Amino acid sequence: MAQMKRRSSSIFKRSMTNMASVEETELSTTLAGQGGARRRKSIAANFPTDADLEQNNTENNTGNNDSNLAELALEHLEDGSLFCLEHEPRAIPYFEQKELNLGRFLGEGEFGTVYEVFGLGNDTGNGAQESNHGPLPEAPASNGQVEPNQGGQSNSMESFGDFDEQNDDEEELKRFMMMHPNRGGKPRYAAKHIKKRLEGHMREDAIIDLACEAAFLSRILHPNIVRLRGTVGTPGSPKFTLILDRLDQTLTNKIADWKDEFKRRTKNFFRKDKLGLASLFHERLLAAYDIARALRHLHSLNLLFRDLKPDNCGFDFRGDARLFDFGLCKELKEQDLVQKDPDAYRASGLTGSRRYMSPEVAKCLPYGFAADVYSFGILFWQIFALKTPFDEFTASKHTARVVLGGKRPPSIQNMLGPRSKTLHKLMESCWAEDPSKRPSFEGVCSAICAELEMLDNGAGPLDRSNMLLAESRHSRHFLLVQ
C-alpha cells in the first residue's frame, strides 16, 4: 500500500519539476522528426489521489494495481462528464485472447504496439497468435507509423456498420467480424495493446492512455475517426487490447508520396503537368477537410484531441482520412473552466507533440479548443509545403523562437494555387498567437469547403457525411448479399 502511494507521489513530482529537462531530451527527439514519441507531460490532472489508491489497493500485486489504476482513471474521466452522460458506449464485441490471431507487426508509439489481425474466432489457427504472448518483435524504422499497404487501395468492401448506426447486437457484430476478417485478401482490423516491456511510470501512463482511449472511442462515431470494433480483456489487464479498423497508411507516409508525385509533375519547368498538379492539390485539400471535420465533431462533444500530427492521421482503403490515437484526448469540463475566459481550462501543460503544440500548452497556461486549431494550422501548412515544420529547430530554439518569439512557418502562397491568399490567411488565423483570434473548426470547415466548391465548379463536398455513409451502406449491402 505504501509502495503504491509513493509511486503516485513520484509521478506528480516528475510532471511538475522535470519540464525543463524534458525540453532537451524528449522534445529534441520529437523535433528531430522521429514523430511517434510523446508522453503525457502531467499525469496529475487525470491521476487518482493517494487516498483513492490506498482505499482500492488490496495486495501488492501488479495485475491488481494495474486494473485498479485503469478503473480509477475511468472513474475520474466519467466524473462530472456530460459527454459520458449523454453518450452511452456502443455495443462493442468482446473476444477471448485465444480468439485473436495476430499477423504482421504494423507499428508502435511510445506506449503502444499495433499488429494486424490475421483472424478472429475459435478456428483462427496458431499462425501468429504466439506474438500476443511472447516478447514483442522489434520495429525496424517504424517510427510509430502504420505500415503502408503495398498493394495500394483495395476495391473491396468497408467494415460492417455505418458510422452513425446504433447496432446493439454484440453477437451479430462479432459474427460478422469472424466471418469477414479480411478485405481483398488483406486484414481489415488491427490490434493495439501496451508494450510488454514498459515499467514504472511509463507503464502507468500507458495503462491510463489505453483505458481512456477505449472509453472515448466506444462513444464516438464519425466517418473520419477510426472506429473501435472490439476489445480483448479488461482495462488494466495484461491482455487488454483494442481491435480497430486497419488503416492503409499514415499521413506521414502520404505526405512523402505527395512530395514524390509533386517532384515528378514539376521536374520539367517549362512543361509542368498542370492537370496532375491540380488533382494533387485537390487531394491534399480534401484530406485537410476530412481531418478538420473529425476535429469539428470532437469539439462539438467538448472533446479536445491534444495530439494532432501526421503520425496520428491515417487513410482507410478508400483514401479517406481518419483520426486515430485518442490516448491524450480530454473532455473540457465546466468545473475546469477558468473564470472570465470562455476557452481556457485547467489542463496539463506540455501535452502532445512539441512541433504542433500551441504556445499556451507549451507554456503550461490554461487552454481550450483553440489549442487543436493551432495544431491544425501547422499541419495544414505541412500538407501543402510538403516539408516538416521547424525541421532544423532544437527544442530550446523552438521554445525561444516559436513559443516565446511568435515565429511561424514561412509563406507558401506559391504552393497554394489560384486561391493562395485565402488559404494562407486561413493558416495564419489558425496559428495566431492569441487563442481568441483563431477560428473554430466550424469556421475552418466552412472555409475549406468553399475552396473545394470553387475547385469543383460548385459541386463541392457540402454533404460529405452522407456521401461517406452511402458508400458504407453500399459496402455493407454488397457483403450481406454474398
- For 477, phi then psi, to 5°, come to -60, -40
- 210 and 315 co-located in one domain: no
pTM: 0.79
| Domain CATH number, residue 109 | 3.30.200.20
CA angle 300–252–195, rounded 5-degree value: 80
Alpha helices in 127-273 (DSSP H): 170-179, 200-217, 251-266
Query: Domains in the chain: how many in total?
Result: 2
User: Is the same domain home to 399 and 331?
Assistant: yes
Spatial distance between the Cα atoms of 88 and 306, rounded to a whole number of angstroms: 23
Q: Backbone dihedral region of 390: left (phi > 0), alpha (psi from -120 to 50 degrees) or beta?
A: left
Note whether 290 and 397 are same-domain residues: yes
Whether 152 and 261 map to the same domain: the answer is no
Q: Is residue 276 part of a domain?
A: yes
3-state secondary structure of 184: coil
- Look at residue 188 and give its three-state secondary structure: coil
Q: Are residues 236 and 254 in the same domain?
A: no
Examine the domain organization and report whether 172 and 267 are in the same domain. Answer: no
Of 224, 247, 270, the position where a domain reaches its end is 247
∠63-67-68 over CA atoms, to 5°? 115
Task: Say yes or no: 213 and 280 in one domain.
Answer: no
Counting Cβ atoms within 10 Å, is residue 265 exposed (0-12), middle (13-18) or buried (19+)? middle
237 plus 264 within the same structural domain: no
Q: Which domain holds residue 255?
A: 250-473
Encode the chain (482 residues) as per-residue pLDDT tens digits.
333 333 333 333 333 333 344 444 333 333 222 233 333 333 334 444 444 444 444 444 556 788 888 999 899 899 989 999 999 999 999 999 999 999 999 988 888 999 999 999 865 443 333 333 333 333 333 343 444 333 333 333 333 344 334 556 888 999 999 999 988 888 999 999 999 888 888 888 899 999 999 999 999 999 999 999 999 999 988 889 999 999 999 999 999 999 999 999 988 777 778 888 989 999 999 999 999 999 999 999 999 999 999 999 999 988 999 999 999 999 999 999 997 788 999 999 999 999 999 999 999 999 999 999 999 999 999 999 999 999 999 999 999 999 999 999 998 877 776 667 889 999 999 999 999 999 999 999 999 999 998 887 655 555 555 555 555 444 444 444 33
The answer as to whether 216 is a domain residue is yes
232: nearest Cα among 339, 99, 350: 99
In this structure, the answer to whether residues 229 and 264 fall within a common structural domain is no
Residue 341 covered by a domain = yes
Angle at 477 between CA 474 and CA 481, to 5 degrees: 145
- The answer as to whether 261 is a domain residue is yes
* CATH code of 332's domain: 1.10.510.10
- The domain boundary, picked from 183, 214, 247, lies at 247
**Beta strand pairing call for 303-304 and 182-183:** unpaired
Q: Which of 217, 247, 277 is the last residue of a domain?
A: 247
Extract the C-alpha cell encoding 7.
509511486
